Amino acid sequence: MKQIITLLIAVALFSFISCSSDNPNNGIEQIEIVNRTTTENAEITYTTIKISGEIISDNLNNVSSRGVCWSTNPNPTVDDNVINSQNNILSQTINELTANTKYYFRIFAINNSGVTYGENLSFNTLSLNDTVWKFATYYPPGPNSIGVTLYSRVDLYGDKTTRFDELDLPMHCPGCFITFGTWSLNGNVLTYIWEGNNPNSSTYVYTGILNGMTINGTFTHPTIPGTWNAIPLN
């Protein structure tokens, strides 16, 4: 009997060693996710943020899906917003974000063992508060215009007030038409009232879409409505 028990123990021990050697992870393929985006190197605009990283696995061929998920709540998952990548070295620009908003990001990878997430990252899109812009106001040809673009400096202050002045360029008059108005942002739609805070009494009312580092839109005027765009003025 003692010999039989010893033999059974030896067989069991041999089987255990053989399984552990052939499959040390018990069938689970490990994935490591390395984030490359930091506060120092993050490429951030008013509506975009770039997330970079790398997916490392013993068998990358078994990674069926990978990319970046994001949300305004911590620890986003693949059930939130997702942008997929074709490569295991990722460099993904997330577009159509809202200005002055905090977002959370995680790189993810999916294989036959499930979903693996990287570190929970958080970044803020840029704010328009206390920024200075170069406006290009285009007056199309018509009864009251030959078609011309005038350039101006517009300060957008944190208290939602503004200051307008023309730039020192040919056909311009710096200091001649300084006005103080107001601005507001609804999502990424900017409304800029040239004078005061009442759009019905202001000569100009600008409306535009904030995208990346530019704003494009239209303006109203009693006789010469037209289009405009703006870029940050350094």
96-117: pLDDT as tens digits: 999 999 999 999 999 988 999 9
Which residues of the chain carry a pLDDT beneath 70? 1-29, 60-61
Which of 63, 95, 124 is the last residue in one of the domains? 124
pLDDT of residue 29: 66
What pLDDT score does 10 carry?
A: 39
The domain spanning residue 66 has which CATH number?
Answer: 2.60.40.10
Q: What is the pTM of this model?
A: 0.83
Query: In the listed set 99, 124, 149, which residue is the last one of a domain according to the structure?
Result: 124
Looking at 124, 146, 178, the residue that finishes a domain is: 124
Quick check: is 107 in a domain? Answer: yes
Judge whether 179 lies within some domain.
yes
Strand partners, 122: 104
What is d(CA 203, CA 195) in angstroms, rounded to the nearest whole number? 7
User: Structural domain of residue 151, as residue ranges?
Assistant: 131-232
pLDDT at 113: 86
Name which of 188, 224, 206 is nearest 135 in CA terms: 206
Same domain, 116 and 169: no
Residue 18 inside a domain? The answer is no
Is 204 among the domain residues? yes
Per-residue pLDDT, 55: 94
| pLDDT value for 103 | 98
| pLDDT, tens digit, 9 for 90 and up, residues 26-38 | 445 689 999 999 9
Between the CA of residue 206 and those of 13, 66, 153, 183, 223, what are the distances in Å?
79, 42, 14, 9, 15
